[in-house]
Amino acid sequence: GAVVSQHPSWVICKSGTSVKIECRSLDFQATTMFWYRQFPKQSLMLMATSNEGSKATYEQGVEKDKFLINHASLTLSTLTVTSAHPEDSSFYICSAPPDSPNYGYTFGSGTRLTVV
């Protein structure tokens, strides 16, 4: 089945630095990738949708200059948290939609970001 590899699985960074999270589709081409954020004991909230070769679409309230999304190829989408602050500490996870309605959405394993 479709596999999305997400790295890193966890990262600790200092306030003011930037962190890049990568999601790679290993055995299929992902023209679209959804990025979610999950705060402790909360559900997954959609942050943005990336499409290969075009600008990402951000949900209301998500700062596009802070959360840079790039989908430069059909197998790689990245999320860069710029000038990270402690309130950006969260669980970030990517998801690719299926090619066929017979299959479910594929998720990366998630990235636990802690900003200190």
Residues that bind other proteins (CB under 8 A): 6, 32, 34, 42-46, 49, 91, 93, 95, 97-98, 101-105, 107-110, 112
Helix, strand, coil: what percent of the chain each, to 5?
A: 5, 50, 45
Classify residue 26 as left (phi > 0), alpha (psi -120 to 50) or beta. alpha
Least separation in angstroms between CB 77 and other proteins: 13
Nearer to other proteins by C-beta: 11 or 16? 11
Compute the least distance from the CB of residue 97 to other proteins, in Å: 5
Give CA–CA dist 101/104, Å, rounded. Answer: 7
Q: Which is nearer to other proteins, 8 or 98 (CB)?
A: 98
Q: Are 83 and 16 in contact (CB under 8 A)?
A: yes
CB of 76 to other proteins, least distance (A): 19
Q: How far apart are CA 38 and CA 40, in angstroms?
A: 7
83 versus 109: smaller Cβ distance to other proteins: 109
